[in-house]
Structure 1
Amino acid sequence: MRELLVTGGCAAFLVLYLLVERLLLAQNARSIPLRICVTGTRGKSSVTRLIAASLRDAGFSVLAKTTGAKPVLILPDGSEKEIARRGTPTILEEKKIVKIGAKLGVQALVLELMSIHPESIFVESVHMLRPHVLVITNVRQDHLAQMGTSREDIARCFASSIPERCTVFIPQEECLPIFQKTAEKLGSKIIHVHSETFEEYIQSKEKFSSFEFEQNIRLALAVSNFLGVNKEVAMEGMEKALPDFGNLKVWTAEIGTPSCSWYFVSGFAANDPESTRLILERLREKRLFVGRKMIGLLNFRGDRGDRTLQWLEAMNEGAFSEFHRFVFVGEHAAAFKKRLKLMDKTEFYVLKKRDPGEILKQLQVIENEEAVLVGMGNMGGIGENLVDYWDNIGKRYDI
């Protein structure tokens, strides 16, 4: 009997604690007049940064958070603080961010959603954050084990983040029927952002401090315009936005003896083959590959087996055959090479070294002419170390 009473008392205390926590979260959230959440497969961190920067330049007090290559809290003055995490990140992190926003008395909170499971994204967005504005950047195949293998499955997952009476921004070409159906059911409104929208402003994207996809700029501009921000002011703010650690970057460096001119490209954060293709198209526009050998450095993560299979399928179907060489690093590298079909003009190598300097030395043995080395696949682990290394030895190249 005593054990039953103790168990019942603990359960009652737990229920009371959770109720109080939920009430405090709701109170803190309500104290922030404007809450904006960003979800989607790619570009979430960039769009979050662009929206926050445009609002900040318009005079809003804004707190923003990204969960990209490095999770960052962007304070109202534009300064950044990397978020230290212990163990696996959870959506409970959002509770702390909302509390900070309430304490600072910010007018707007711009958050990149961190969930990839349908149930978690529903709780994070609909129950915890309750955004007034939701941005869905795109629907591409990634996190297949959690979100489903088809584009429709993934769209259904993102649709679960739509709360009641919310304004949802989504690129016209990404608006699958499930989004409209869910929005109508919840009394929310979908705003389609067309590929020609704000064309006169998009032309000035060359002023940005780093490369940015036009679609990301259009989305951020559509949101800020909806909120009453002057378009010129919004663009000026976005031009000042600091890029995410995972943004597309290019460096040049003289390496080897005798020295050769190499380009290093950080495309790790694109993750999937489709997004990586878009990056390569941009680099071709800049004629980066003219007269140089193309080397792909594909970094694998042990906890992203579904992503590894995506790359295997893409390359076995002939994707990226224009590369002269591919080197594979990280988990799954040897197994990946064994399951890969041979290409007529492409050589494959597995590198076991994990130190960036040692990896570069091995690459110089493989290729002693001018080359472009394109990092792909995953930022985690070796990818992040390589980006830091390239930033130290190379000179940033404007793209």
Structure 2
Amino acid sequence: MLKNLASIPIRVLVTGSRGKSSLVRLLQAGLCALGIPSWGRITGVLPREISPAGERFIERTSGGHVEEMRWWLEQVPEEAGAVVLENSAVAPELQGLAGRWMSPSLVVWTNARADHQEAWGPGASDAERVLLQGIPDRVPVAAAPELLESGFVREELARKRCSLEGSFEGGLCTRDYTSGNLSLACLALSMLGLDPAFARKAMESLPPDIADFRLVEVDGGLLASAFSANDPESAALLWGSLGWKAEETVLLYNHRRDRPMRLMAFLPWIRSWAWKERLLAGDFALRGTSGFRRVKLNAEGLAALVRSGRRVFGCGNVAGFPLPFLLERRVG
């Protein structure tokens, strides 16, 4: 453990395929509401620090690097009562670094869904195997209900001598992502010996984050912004929550050249629906994209696409043109 963290009693490491940033935000807000000065770090396209003073962007001179976690942990002030870190490592061999640097008192595990297929392998079981490498031995784990359904996860955590909990009385343990995140945050606070009832209002009042799933209206048209749903299971859950008809909806997939297998994973789900139109934007893929119309978009182009009463479901990746579009329309 880094020396400056030794005096901080609450050290929470958040891991998973999806939803890590949301859990960091919820826990940081909940801990502060309980009178515990807390610092959190979220990563992704826009890495940020969250503290009692508010939010600040972490400026990068180059792309994201695993060492950024250690650098940030070394900046946490002595007066912190809690630190909440999102494990941003992707490579399997780097998963354990965050736990080594912070020696967490609790791990919060959001889910294990097929993602980063180039590094992890194609399936959810591969995600479980990799993410387990980032959980230190003998550390309690607060996990989403879906992880308790995995015999492999239960067996491996037992082998590591990690206690595992995955339900919370009075919470909303559902697969709906907003209530599920809140329930998991309440469970984590309870496992830390805190009363989540006093923190719940602060957590529920958090405005959506930049790339959180939401409906964005543009001159009568609606964009269902699911760009941060990087796996087909998450995208399917969000799509199902809308109640929209596919034949009245334009499917927009934003592609990244460095994530070619992500598009391959999405294709069966995309092709299972009779969309009004299928659009492929971003870095153009060369294979497996029959049935799509390829479009070049920027933030203004996305706004124009949504106008005129259209319904658009956007998914795949938030990096690129969706990000400035969403930043301009950030809530809160």
Q: How does 1:100-249 map to 2 (within 5 A)?
A: 100-101=75-76, 103-125=77-99, 127-175=100-148, 176-193=150-167, 197-199=168-170, 201-202=171-172, 213-249=178-214
TM-score (norm 2): 0.90
CA contact (8 A) 2:113 2:123 kept: no
Residues of 2 paired with 1:290 and 1:323: CA distance? 8
Residues of 1 paired with 2:58 and 2:111: CA distance? 26
Corresponding position: 1:294 with 2:268: no
Pick aligned residue for 1:357 from 286, 290, 300: 300
Identity of paired residues, percent? 26
CA contact (8 A) 1:293 1:370 kept: no
1:382 maps to a residue whose letter is F
Residues of 1 paired with 2:75 and 2:245: CA distance? 49
Structure 2 partner of 1:40: 16
Structure 2 partner of 1:382: 321
Q: Structure 1 residues 291 and 140, CA, compared in 2 at 3 Å: closer, same or farther?
A: closer
CA RMSD in angstroms, aligned pairs only: 2.5
Structure 1 partner of 2:221: 262
CA contact (8 A) 1:299 1:375 kept: yes
Question: Quick check: 171-180 or 270-279, which moved more?
Answer: 171-180
Shift of residue 303, structure 1, vs aligned partner: 0.8
1:307 maps to a residue whose letter is R
Larger radius of gyration: 1
Q: Structure 1 residues 180 and 97, CA, compared in 2 at 3 Å: closer, same or farther?
A: same
Structure 2: gaps (5+ residues):
none
1:233 maps to a residue whose letter is F
Structure 1 partner of 2:260: 305
Higher helix share: 1
Residues of 1 paired with 2:227 and 2:14: CA distance? 21
CA contact (8 A) 1:334 1:350 kept: no
Question: Quick check: 107-116 or 304-313, which moved more?
Answer: 304-313
CA contact (8 A) 2:212 2:226 kept: yes
Shift of residue 296, structure 1, vs aligned partner: 1.3
Shift of residue 382, structure 1, vs aligned partner: 1.7
TM-score (norm 1): 0.76
Structure 1: gaps (5+ residues):
1-24, 206-210, 255-260, 341-347
Shift of residue 178, structure 1, vs aligned partner: 3.3
Residues of 2 paired with 1:148 and 1:328: CA distance? 24
Residues of 2 paired with 1:291 and 1:355: CA distance? 24
Shift of residue 291, structure 1, vs aligned partner: 11
2:131 maps to a residue whose letter is F
Instruction: Give CA deviations for 1:75-129 in whole Å, capped at 9, x if unaligned.
Output: 123x00011112222221122222222x34201100110012221011222x222
Structure 1 partner of 2:41: 65
1:248 maps to a residue whose letter is F
